[in-house]
Amino acid sequence: MIEKYRTHYSKDIGEKEYNNMVSVAGWVEDIRNLGSIAFVILRDRMGTLQVTCLKKDKKELFEKLVSLPRESVISVRGVCKRNKKVRNGYEILPEKVEVLSVSDKPLPMGVVDKTGIEFETRFDNRFIDLRRKEVQAVFKIRDKVIDAARNFLRKNGFIEVHTPKIIASASEGGTDLFKVEYFERIAFLAQSPQLYKQMLMATGLDRVFEIAWYFRAEKHNTTRHLNESTAVDIEMAFIKDEKDVMRVLENMVFEIWNAARTCEEELNVLDIELEKIRVPFRRITYDDAIEMLNEQGHRIKWGEDFGSKEEGTLGRIMEEEKKVFYFVTNYPLETKPFYTMPQEDMRYSRSFDLGCKGLEIASGSQRIHDKKLLIERVEKCGLNPRDFESYLKAFRYGMPPHGGFGFGIERFLMQLLRLNNIRECILFPRDRNRLTP
């Protein structure tokens, strides 16, 4: 790849470049001025390299380099020389240096400094925080995870779609919606693509997926919640029941987990070794989960949802069984949204959650495809069918049995990479208090 200021990234350079001219570009990470010789560590997207400048040979270049503040941006053209004593096994002897941008000083935070940096300082200066190799590693793995999910779904007959994010009514009921002015009326930011995914099942596009955005105006402030998050959302038609959807989910997770395991360099930076996983994942019913949890001292009544403490305990129980992932199935119908298919006795639903090490990372179900039953459930959940007219219309003219799930990308990464805060897993987090940068 040839660009104006760069012919090679740091990791592109090998033996064929030795004793030849190359152009490199990036940020000045560090400068060591020893008086007669200067060592400049230059950082690009692929890593770092050393530029070595002798004062007696290149006095003007030497003075230019040693005067630069850290994190300035430069382009260097010079001869690549083998040197087994330095990083990467080579160094660049500069012939020409262009200063592309001079950094202000002092820096609001360090990039390679070993001293601790406060969490809020990092996110106030996220553009600098993202220069740190351990932070970049998270997003390189995130890219690999999303790419693997896409590839898996396409191999299994799914096509990618994009649904509206400005909607007229709640996707799932409830009031946790962000209002927006839409010309002369009020609209909302979508909680999920749920209703549109289901409508697409009536079109003949019977397997769809979306890398979706969720907007939820919940006033929480925890280490596992965001007000703007992303997910892999799928919907598939002509299913027998929710088990068909669960098989797609567990095999997708298996694929992306193994894709993440190939990111050896990034995992080494994060000091993580990923264990092997197997499919099928462990399945336990809601009733069994309650029994397990109550044996551990919890006091859960039938029909109650699980909170973070209960999820954590369940994760530890599964860990004792050496299970990283596990499904909880057969939730009470009253705990699930209106579109969730009931079981025959109407007490239980054809729904499931996927847990990973004590955190719910995905939720799905078989959906109701019968219009009459769907309207009954809308009303039973205290909602007005008139608010869902365009959605319900899709069920009047031929709707096959279908189901789907939403898989939280940030939650998955948080557990995969053993991070303590979900904000680490998205570039510019939006939470109860943060709207910038």
CA atoms within 13 A on the CB side of 299: 0
CA distance 332 to 286: 8
Whether residue 164 is contained in a domain is answered as: yes
Domain with 231 in it? 127-425
pTM, 2 dp? 0.94
Q: Which helix (H) or strand (E) holds 380?
A: helix 371-380
Q: Which of the following is catalytic: 8, 224, 367, 402?
A: 224
Say if residue 296 is in the same domain as residue 362. Answer: yes
Domain CATH code at residue 387: 3.30.930.10
Give yes or no for a contact between 248 and 156, defined as CB atoms under 8 angstroms apart.
yes
Whether residue 396 is contained in a domain is answered as: yes
Confidence band for 183, pLDDT divided at 50, 70 and 90: very high
Q: What is the overall mean pLDDT for the chain? A: 95
Q: Is 396 known to be catalytic? A: no
Tell me what the mean pLDDT of segment 419-435 comes to: 96
Tens digits of per-residue pLDDT, 300-334? 999 999 999 999 999 999 999 999 999 999 999 99
Interacting residues of 330 by C-beta distance below 8 A, sequence separation 6+: 285, 286, 287, 343, 348, 349, 351
Confidence band for 248, pLDDT divided at 50, 70 and 90: very high
Q: Is the pLDDT of residue 3 over 60?
A: no
Confidence band for 172, pLDDT divided at 50, 70 and 90: low
Cα–Cα nearest to 74, from 16, 126, 29, 127? 29
Q: Is 77 known to be catalytic? A: no
CA distance 394 to 375: 13
Q: Which helix (H) or strand (E) holds 390?
A: helix 389-393
Per-residue tokens: 54: 């002798």
Q: Is the pLDDT of residue 173 over 80?
A: no
Confidence band for 87, pLDDT divided at 50, 70 and 90: confident
Q: Which of the following is catalytic: 363, 365, 367, 402?
A: 363
Say if residue 37 is in the same domain as residue 155. Answer: no
Q: Is 261 known to be catalytic? A: no
Tens digits of per-residue pLDDT, 345-376? 999 999 999 999 999 999 999 999 999 999 99
For residue 165, what pLDDT is reported? 96
Say if residue 24 is in the same domain as residue 171. Answer: no
Tens digits of per-residue pLDDT, 104-126? 999 999 998 777 889 999 999 99
Q: Which of the following is catalytic: 6, 70, 350, 411?
A: 411
Q: Is the pLDDT of residue 2 over 80?
A: no
Q: Is the pLDDT of residue 170 over 90?
A: no
Say if residue 280 is in the same domain as residue 348. Answer: yes
Tens digits of per-residue pLDDT, 370-412? 999 999 999 999 999 998 999 999 999 999 999 999 999 999 9
Q: Which of the following is catalytic: 235, 360, 410, 424?
A: 360
CA distance 345 to 350: 11
Q: Is 360 known to be catalytic? A: yes
Pairing between β-strand 47-54 and β-strand 21-33 as defined by DSSP bridges: unpaired
Q: Which of the following is catalytic: 77, 122, 216, 261?
A: 216
Q: Is 216 known to be catalytic? A: yes
Say if residue 94 is in the same domain as residue 131. Answer: no
Tell me what the mean pLDDT of segment 275-285 comes to: 97
Q: Which of the following is catalytic: 77, 122, 132, 225?
A: 225
For residue 175, what pLDDT is reported? 61
Q: Is 185 known to be catalytic? A: no
Q: Which of the following is catalytic: 98, 103, 150, 218?
A: 218
Tens digits of per-residue pLDDT, 259-272? 999 999 999 999 99
For residue 1, what pLDDT is reported? 42
Say how far residue 329 (Cα) sits from the centre of its chain: 25
What are the contacts of 311-318 at 24+ separation with CB within 8 A?
311/355, 311/358, 311/359, 311/360, 312/358, 313/358, 314/289, 314/355, 314/358, 315/355, 315/356, 315/357, 315/358, 315/359, 316/358, 317/292, 318/282, 318/355, 318/357
Say how far residue 157 (Cα) sits from the centre of its chain: 23
Say if residue 210 is in the same domain as residue 97. Answer: no
Say if residue 315 is in the same domain as residue 187. Answer: yes
Q: Is 424 known to be catalytic? A: no
Tell me what the mean pLDDT of segment 58-76 comes to: 96
For residue 176, what pLDDT is reported? 85
Q: Which helix (H) or strand (E) holds 282?
A: strand 282-285
Task: Quote the percentage of the chain above a pLDDT of 90.
Answer: 94
Counting the structural domains of the chain, the total is 2
CA distance 279 to 137: 27
